[in-house]
Structure 1
Amino acid sequence: MSLVPWPASTLVTALVALALEGAVGWPAPLYAAIGHPVTWIGRLIGGFDRVLNRDDFGAPLRRAAGVVTLIAVLAITGGIAWGLQSGLEALVPGFAGLLLVGILAASLPAQRSLDTHVRAVAEALERDLPAGRRAVSMIVGRDPSRLDEAGVARAAIESLAENFSDGIVAPLFWTAAAGLPGGVLYKAANTADSMIGHRTPRHEAFGWAAARCDDLVNLPASRLSALWLVLAATITPGADARTAIAAIRRDAGSHRSPNAGWPEAAMAGALGLALAGPRVYEGEVYDGAWMGDGRRDLVAADVRRALGLYRAALAVQATAFAVLLVAFALV
């Protein structure tokens, strides 16, 4: 058990993770040597999918097998994370132990990687449209060959907003709430949704539990990410916090996702843009609602504006965690 009481202990873990991942990310040599925790979780989920998601099962059995899969994956990953945290805190008590736990937790957020990939879209789109399409295909699932310049820019900004919530704010929120086990459990649930939470013939029933769980665990972070973006708009040149709030109130609830609309509407409103709307996935047209009522003819410069707002939101988040840590330390 840590000598530093909760929630100060978990806030330290989250702050260390945020700072370390922002500074160095997940280094390529380390990835080449051992992979990444998300890929390990993915292999575990893939194994359950191959064994339990049987073609001869009807929908009720597949749904039950999916529930078993989710519970097993959460139990295994959460148990390992709890064991690692408990072991480190027992071997290295006090603040030093929390630093070590924070180093492990730095594998959970993806702020540096997200910045790199979205910036690559802006740089490619500034060169030409085909390069922009190739770059955006690395971060979105829609068919890039159908996208014009505005479509590429919009896809990149939407990915930035949504991944800010579920790739950064959510794992750090759950780490701040429950330490390394909380962050790892979130990543396991989110990875399960990414792999099996699809409405396809194979996964609609089997992935039902994963999809519902992901919606639930992302609910607090999606609202929090919208708040960080609104606050960031107050310190970002060219952004407007009032229009961000208006867009959230008007549009967030009409998004096809119960969570993605919050950061997307906040970013759209803050930047005076329109995001989401109709799009094509795997050859099918989806008539999505628009987030924001601003300009629809987006350009590469708008991607860079979105990155500026995103970086300010990261600073807001770090400041909020630090203020909370000081406040709890003084109690």
Structure 2
Amino acid sequence: MSVWAAVLALIIERVWGYPDRVYRILSHPVVWMGWVIGKGDETFNKPDETSFETGRLVGAVCLGAFLALVLVVTQPVARLFSALPGGWVFEAAVASSFLAQKSLGEAVARVAAALREGPIEAAREAVSHIVGRDTAGLDEAEISRAAIETLAENASDGVVAPLFYLVLFGLPGIAVYKAINTADSMIGHTSDRYRAFGWAAAKLDDVANFIPARLTALLIALAARWIPGAVPGGALRTARRDSIRHASPNAGWPEAALAGALGFGLGGPRAYKGEVLDLPAMGDGRRELDADDIDRALTLYRRLLDVLLGATVACAVVVWVV
């Protein structure tokens, strides 16, 4: 049931996204998760009062309790859906809220539109909503690279990875994955406040994304076959060569694959909270990118979504036949 639910969830979210009316009434499951994580951070994270080892243990216990809570909530819902006639449709509708195909594409497209329409401050504002780096002084090429890098990384974190766990473990699987990913985004940092408390969240997120990140690189290579001028083999070669340079064990795979597929030069220095980090480059191509290059990356992203849907349908058919 979960594989067919995954197919329907992909279609629902890609076409309609998360309805604004539902958001206004119920907010969003990830917002609920963020609230719980924030309360745990506020209550139990005391970096000035505890040792690193104690802080790490407390963070791990809090994360475990949080994930257990997610399972306690989603397991009965999943069992209820499985007992209902056509319950997989309800499972798909709920699971679609944990995917980000539509919202990711729209957010990146807004950056390209802002670059075209000007002024550049509008593009800086648009890209600031989808990246964590400082954006106030970015020029056109830096804004374009930031948007494309985010598109590549979040194709994995926001689409491929949650779908992967939905197919394997149903609604509880996708919910637990999003809980891990949300915890990492909120507390999985190397700042003094979160170095200990967020250690478990960061490590578990690395484990959870290990396979999906590499699957995303493969999907980028497959999708590149339908993009004029793209180089599918270049995607895989660049991913294998450059991904190990990235600070993350996973994020470099989709980023380098996209750079190799489209002949872009991504990565490099960027600033976070005023501190400039000299990060490695991904790909050997052009670094002076613009709105047209963002559009080209979005075209590749859409073909990736097509390939992903086709692969999920094939998995569903195989499971159904077997």
TM-score bracket for the superposition, by shorter chain length? over 0.9
Distance 2:260 2:231 in 1: 7
Who is 2:130 aligned against? 139
Relative to the length of structure 2, the TM-score reads 0.97
- With 243-252 and 213-222 compared, the bigger mean Cα shift is at 243-252
Q: Residue 304 of structure 1 corresponds to which residue in structure 2? A: 295
Determine if contact 1:13/1:180 at 8 Å carries over to the other structure. Answer: no
What is the DSSP-based 3-state SS (H/G/I as helix, E as strand, rest coil) of the residue aligned with 1:146? coil
Partner Cα separation in structure 1 for residue 45 and residue 136 of structure 2: 33
Choose from 20, 37, 43 the match for 1:28.
Answer: 20
Instruction: Please give the root-mean-square deviation of Cα atoms over the aligned residues, in Å.
Output: 0.9
Separation (CA, whole Å) in 1 of partners of 2:40 and 2:273: 26
CA distance in 2, matches of 1:87, 1:245: 42
Aligned with 2:280 (options 276, 280, 289):
289
Scaled by the length of structure 1, the TM-score of the pair is 0.95
SS in 2 for 1:107: helix
* Residue 136 of structure 1, CA deviation: 0.5
Counterpart CA distance in 1 for 2:319 and 2:55 is 46
Choose which of 7, 25, 28 in structure 2 pairs with 1:15. 7
- Looking at structure 2, the residues matched to 120 and 108 of structure 1 have their Cα atoms a distance apart, in angstroms, of 21
Mapped to 2, the partners of 1:185 and 1:74 lie a distance apart of: 6
Gaps of 5+ in 1: 1-8
**1:4 — aligned with what?**
none
SS of the residue aligned with 1:237? coil
Identity %: 48
Q: Does 1:205 align with 2:196?
A: yes
How many angstroms apart in 1 are the aligned matches of 2:142 and 2:158? 22
| SS in structure 2 of the partner of residue 285 of structure 1 | strand
User: Which residue identity does 1:313 align to in structure 2?
Assistant: L
Alignment of 1:232 onto 2:223: yes
1:174 deviates by 0.4
Which residue identity is paired with 1:73? F
1:164 lines up with 2:139 in the alignment: no
Q: Number of paired residues?
A: 320
| 1:138 CA drift (Å) | 0.9
Structural mapping, 1:232-251, within 5 Å: 232-251=223-242
Q: Which residue does 1:116 correspond to in 2?
A: 106
Q: Give how far 1:238 is off.
A: 2.6
Name the CA distance, whole Å, in 2 between partners of 1:281 and 1:47: 25
* Residue of structure 1 equivalent to 2:318: 327
Shift of 1:112: 0.5
Q: 2-side partners of 1:289 and 1:314: how far apart?
A: 28
Report the alpha carbon displacement of residue 103 of structure 1 after superposing the two structures with TM: 0.7
Residue 121 of structure 2: aligned partner: 130
